[in-house]
Amino acid sequence: MDAGQLAHPGVEELEVGPILLALADENRRRVVAELAARPDDERLCASFDLPLSKSSRTRHWRVLREAGLVYQRSAGNGLYMRLRKEDLDARFPGLIQAVVAAD
């Protein structure tokens, strides 16, 4: 697989169970909240200030991506992430806002 083309579930494949499981973790929830604050922006994964090892961070990015919460893209100088806000709002209206507001 091309490093720039990570696998992502389609919008019709999104399921609320994996989404909630992904959001149950406070570090992942924090990442989603920061992305939701600027939903049009893509962000360098390395720019998130999390108290975690590199392998833990990598695992969290994968959980977020496989649940369908974020799009990830590998570019020359790193891995970028953005919230799948349109897809999430279409499939689960109000959910991301409610979760982000809950903390």
When asked if residue 25 is in the footprint of its own copies (CB under 8 A), the reply is yes
When asked if residue 95 is in the footprint of its own copies (CB under 8 A), the reply is yes
Shortest distance, position 45 Cβ to its own copies, whole Å: 22
Q: Please, what sign has the CA dihedral across residues 23, 94, 44, 17?
A: positive
Site string for its own copies, 65-94 (x = CB under 8 A): --------------------------xxxx
- The single-letter code of the amino acid at 86 is E
Q: Which one of the spans 5-13, 25-33, 54-62, 75-83 is the region binding its own copies (CB under 8 A)?
A: 25-33
Quick one: which of 21, 37, 44, 75 contacts its own copies (CB under 8 A)?
Answer: 21
- List, edge to edge, every strand of the sheet that includes 70-75: 43-44, 78-83, 70-75
Closest C-alpha among 103, 33, 20, 24 to residue 67: 20
